[in-house]
Structure 1
Amino acid sequence: MALLIASNAAFAAPQYGLAMYGNPELPADFTALPYVNPEAPKGGAIVTGEGGTYDSLNPFIQKGNAPWQLRFLMAEGLMGRAFSEPFSLYCLLCETVETDPDRSWVEFTLRPEAKFSDGTPVTVEDVIWSFETLGTEGHGRYAALWGQIETLEQTGPNKVKFSFNVENRELALLVAMRPILKKAYWDDKDFTQSGMDQIPVTSAPYVVSKTEPGMYLELTRNPDYWGKDLPFMRGQANFDTIRFEYFADPSLVIEAFKAGELNAHREFNVQTWEEQYDFPAVTRGDVIKSVIPHQRPTGMTGFAMNARLPQFADWRVRQAMIEAFNFDYINEAQTENKQTRITSYFSNSPLGMRPGPAEGKVLELLAPYRDQLLPGVLEGYELPQTSGRELDRGAMRRALKLMEEAGWTVQDGAMKNAAGAPFTFEIVLKVGDDENQSIIDTYTQMLKQLGIDPKISVVDKAQYTQRMETFDFGMTPVRYGLSLSPGNEQYAYFGEAAADTPGSRNIAGVKDPVVDAMIARMLDATDREGSLAATRALDRLLTAGRYAIPLYAWNESFDAHVKELHYPTPLPLYGDWIMWREMTWYWEE
């Protein structure tokens, strides 16, 4: 008993970091993150391009269209994430963190030197106000966490404690990453209505300095940034200026890079990367082509089918749509077969399902639900092989058989049900999405071979957003970027409750209680092995659920940049991840 008490006391002692399982990899006396150059020079600028425009500088509220980068560049949390580990945090605004073995509560001690960009100290009052305001008036992404906080209280001059009303080990880490804003700045302003005139005051190393919607957005490094000497920040925030140039036509971004208006560009088309990056600056060596590998899950990039609709409620229909999608032919036309295909939601990582039948702990988790599982979950699921010919007769025969089993047959040249109603649906695309438009144009010709003639609607960004929020589509492009530490966000992506919640990320309308059960097991796991098994089981459920037609796997990033821009090595586990360029690259002549 004495040993147990001592063990628990040690666990709840003040710490310098938190990991989802076990302890953080870095020691308490670490001097810098392992994937930065701690001696990186300060100065220079990184200039990249974006399509579209913005009408708000507050990324923390529902109203308006704020540049997505501001969520990550504008504010800091109590702790910062290390992308060299699956899910570990180290103290940033906080000096220490404490929690109990079950993580039913977490307490932070703020650093006395932590300051906002205007020089005022970050206080416990700011922390409490930030959580309450974001949770009740902020963007919907903050509401779920706020609802799981039982109490939020000041426990000392620089101490704040969160207690939770549910069992969820991830919550201690999630609260540590929420943005902290300056309360006093909003005393005479309406937080929910702020746009271009009110820029949130935060403690981050960069502040918004120049703006022109539709033209550019510029952030400048604060020379008085309070945390520049912290071990966690050493070798980060190296540029004096971070600038985003905006283009109404996204296809012009690459042309602006070639013309020298931008000094860094991330390419997403491997064929373009290999064939169009031979302009003079590249041949002279003034522009460098860097290929950045990573170990992140592929996530899902493809075309989601709306399982809420009767047309797509039957898994056999969804499988028929996948069969009819001649990936090899499309891949040849789009990339000359230079791009590999996604095989599951967590492929390219240890979290991905293993080939063949479920075994071991994964089988133990899924076996109790055997009668509820779709074909392929336990036996193993693979995407169909296609011939690469424009008309793949084998794939068409398989698709027709599946449609017939689901109650649809070709009548007078059109796919219809027993009542004679045609099988049709609407494919919704966004203006300017030329690559997906090209793919869909080819795909619809394939569907016509089955007697299916879908409607294609190309809408502007505002309409597209509104239609996605109300799930008003039959099929649409989808992108889920999944991490090496999946957590509560999986409910938002694939949970039953989110399927009917307007504006949720559950685009396909996944409503499977076994999916919810595996997410719960993943979150309840007390070690990495238990979480790994639950995630692999979840991967099987989602992949064999046939909710999306998978496209390309991006297992490496293609970054072109001027020779003065350098990235540090070794590369982080996550590779070219969110704000890696902006925060860890540096300028050196």
Structure 2
Amino acid sequence: MRPDFFRYLRPVFAVAALISAPLSAQGESAHGIAMYGNPALPPDFVSLPYANPDAPKGGRVVFGNTGGFDSLNPFTQKGTHPWQLRFLSHESLMGRSWDEPFSLYGLLAESVEAAPDRSWVEFTLREEARFSDGSPVTVEDVIWSYEMLGTEGHLRYRGLWGQIDAIEQTGPRSLRITFAETDRELALIAGMRPILNKAQWEGKDFANAPLSEIPMGSGPYVVTDYEAGRFVTLTRNPDYWGDDIPFRRGTMNFDEIRIEFYGDQTVLFEAFKAGELTAIREFNAEKWVTQYDFPAVTRGDVIKTEIPHAKPSGMTGFVMNTRRAPFDDWRVREAMLLAFNFEFINDTVTGGAQPRITSYFSGSELAMRPGPAEGRVLEYLTPYADTLPPGALEGYALPQSDGTARNRSNLRRATALLAEAGWQVEAGELRNAKGEPFRFTVLLRQGDTDMQTVMEIYSRALDRLGITTGIEKVDDAQYTGRLAELDFDMTPFRRALSLSPGNEQRLYWGSEVADAPGTRNLMGMAQPAADALIDAMLTTEDRDEFIAATRALDRVLTAGRYVIPIWNFDVGRIAHAKELKFPETLPIYGDGPQYMPDVWWYEED
């Protein structure tokens, strides 16, 4: 099944038109809510545009994860859990359409109402909404979930709680949330919080629950079997309450989803080749071309599918911890970028098939433009001119090599910058004025073979500069703990970014969380301009102002030289059993955690 790429692109233009349309009268109950303008789907929509409402139910699929798990509670900071659980077993008041920049439609809630300035939002629950044990989802459950997640839950859930001024029941099935500050996105974020069952946790320690205490949800799947660190089995609830609501039609079609765990990606791939797994996502373009020729593929039992998208590149690469010397100096970080011979490394690892990320929002209208800042972008940045990294105003582009293994020109420039920063070569080793050698360690997950290969090539270039690079591989639990404690020099980094960036930007780059344990601001960035630009993105009601603020933020991030970018995942690659099918119409966001398996189904040929 090969989708028509032009049919895929048409929704992008439709969304652009809707974004610029006048706002509907707010303060009225509606079936959905959008960040700007009106939701694209009408109140009587049948299903999401990229779902097949007639998809058959049934079948069993097996996916693979690397590492292990010691928790089945995806909502706490403690432990390592299968990342898929929160998407399959739990639901929120509203659900997101991945065919629009940022729009939500009723899920547990049948309607939403918001103030014209989005200072409050009100939700009305569906009368039929049920937890997996058949008990009703109540306003009390919702209010308790917001408080529990906001005070004892994972850090990703705590930010919203601090921005809520009041949360109160307004009717038998309705509640209103009033916000403490002006932020247009909060009304949508509030609609996306997972809802848990309050009664399950009476008298129990939510934050430190044992593995056996699995949170009850209202979602289509329930955990029916598991073995710690080895597998988890989820079964579709035959009494699931939401099969017939528009948002769910044609989704969550498999009877059983099993997640197997493997020591590393190599073992996982071999298991897929042997038929132990039903589908696998491939992120290496060269491997996609050269290693997917095993018998099941040649027989046609395994299909290779590519899913295009129109979302920003996001940032993938190696982040430097600026809380530690020597990465607290932008000149050193620029030298590290110069020494990273992307063209040669990309050719070696991916066959040169994947383009480089050029900025955090590259590949979209939100990306910074080349050359000096102009117009509204310049106006946003000028008040912070004295604090901006070099290149933010004048224009900045990532260094390019000549593609040869030696990369001599860029290494000479790197040497000059390092000397300017106080580093000189003595007896073949780079040292500062105190005589301390330039040594750092790259923290990797066990089994991350691609990143290890990249680092082995990179370390040879750094060795020519007199820099000693260590590689430390740890298991998933240790890796998660080290990041939470900010205990690393350099480590692989990935931030997926949407067409409607919002409050998550504060978590990724905000000054307030720069040094907080467990922060997602891994680079330790504390830049007043970035904070102000994120505020502008969240408060403006004008789409053009939003784009200008985001382009300005992209300049600050890229010129900050916090991450050594690698290749862009410009298309999703999924190899799967021939029995797995998906709709012809694709969402603008392409593949993602909530595309497969959500809208796929099992069907014998």
How many residues align? The count is: 583
SS in 2 for 1:351: coil
Tell me what 2:80 maps to.
65
Do 2:23 and 2:38's aligned partners in 1 also have CA atoms closer than 8 Å?
no
Q: Which amino acid aligns with 1:202?
A: G
SS of the residue corresponding to residue 159 of structure 2 reads: helix
2:29 to 8, 14, 17: 14
Task: Name the CA distance, whole Å, in 1 between partners of 2:23 and 2:532.
Answer: 29
The match for 1:123 is 138
Return structure 1 stretches of 4+ with deviation > 6 angstroms. Answer: none
Contact 2:264 2:448 in 1 (8 A): no
For 1:500 and 1:572, the matched residues in 2 are separated by 37
User: 1:85 pairs with 71, 75, 100, which one?
Assistant: 100
Percent of aligned positions that are identical:
58
Among residues 46, 53, 64, which one is paired with 1:49 in the alignment?
Answer: 64
Determine if the alignment matches structure 1 residue 477 to structure 2 residue 492.
yes
Match of 1:100 in 2: 115
Q: Secondary structure at the match of 1:439?
A: helix
**Counterpart in the other structure of 1:31:** 46
Q: Structure 1: how far apart are the matches of 2:507 and 2:338?
A: 28
Distance 1:408 1:249 in 2: 38
Letter in 2 for 1:110: L
Secondary structure class of the residue paired with 1:540: helix
In the TM superposition, residue 432 of structure 1 has moved relative to its aligned partner by: 1.7
Q: Do structure 1's residue 292 and structure 2's residue 323 form an aligned pair? A: no
Instruction: State the Cα distance separating 1:407 from its structure 2 match.
Output: 1.9
TM-score by length of 2: 0.94
Q: Which amino acid aligns with 2:221?
A: Y
Question: In 1, Cα distance between the equivalents of 2:327 and 2:203?
Answer: 50
2:404 maps to which residue? 389
The answer on 1:533 being equivalent to 2:510 is no
Letter in 2 for 1:550: P
Residues 52 and 583 of structure 2 are in contact (CA less than 8 Å); yes or no, is this contact kept in structure 1? yes
- In structure 1, the residue corresponding to 2:322 is in which secondary structure? coil
How many Å separate the matches in 2 of 1:491 and 1:530?
18
Equivalent residues of 1:8, 1:100 under 8 A apart: no
Distance 1:250 1:194 in 2: 30
* Counterpart amino acid of residue 471 in structure 1: L
From 256, 268, 291, the counterpart of 2:271: 256
| Structure 1 residue 47: Cα displacement | 1.4
Displacement after TM superposition at 1:248 (Å): 2.2
Residue 188 of structure 1 deviates from its aligned partner by 4.1
* Structure 1 segment 10-409 matched on structure 2, within 5 A: 10-409=25-424
Contact 1:22 1:527 in 2 (8 A): no
1:8·1:101 contact (CA, 8 Å) conserved in 2?
Answer: no
The CA deviation at 1:66 is: 1.4
3-state DSSP of counterpart to 2:529: helix
TM-score, length-normalised on structure 1?
Answer: 0.96
The residue matched to 1:11 in structure 2 has which SS?
A: coil
Residues 201 and 462 (structure 1 numbering): CA distance in 2 closer, same or farther, change over 3 Å? closer
Separation in 1, partners of 2:381, 2:97: 33
SS in 1 for 2:468: coil
- Tell me, yes or no, if the aligned pair for 2:389 and 2:559 is still in contact at 8 Å: yes
Instruction: Give the structure 2 partner of residue 3 of structure 1.
Output: none
Structure 1: where are the runs of 5+ without partners?
1-6
1:4-58 CA-partner distances (Å, limit 9, x unpaired): xxx9994201111110111111111111111111111111122111111112111
Q: Match for 2:413: what amino acid?
A: R
In the alignment, structure 1 residue 556 sits paired with structure 2 residue 567:
no
Note if contact 1:136-1:143 (Cα within 8 Å) is conserved in structure 2.
Answer: yes
Task: Please name the residue that 1:450 is paired with.
Answer: 465
What amino acid does structure 1 have at the position aligned with 2:586?
L
User: Residue 581 of structure 2: which of 559, 566, 580 is its match?
Assistant: 566
CA deviation string 1:97-119 (max 9, x = no partner): 11111111111111111111111
Counterpart residue identity of residue 278, structure 1 = D
Measure how far apart 1:190 and its partner are.
2.5
1:503 corresponding residue in structure 2: 518
Deviations 1:417-464 (A, max 9, x none): 233332222222222222111211111110111111133322233332
Distance 2:488 2:65 in 1: 26
- The 8 Å contact of residues 19 and 87 in structure 1, kept in 2 or not, is answered as yes
Distance 1:459 1:199 in 2: 27
Structure 1 residue 311, shift from structure 2 partner: 0.6
Distance in 2 (CA, whole Å) between partners of 1:10 and 1:331 is: 51
Secondary structure, aligned partner of 2:247 = coil
18-27 vs 306-315, greater mean Cα deviation: 306-315
8 Å CA contact 1:52, 1:250 repeated in 2: no
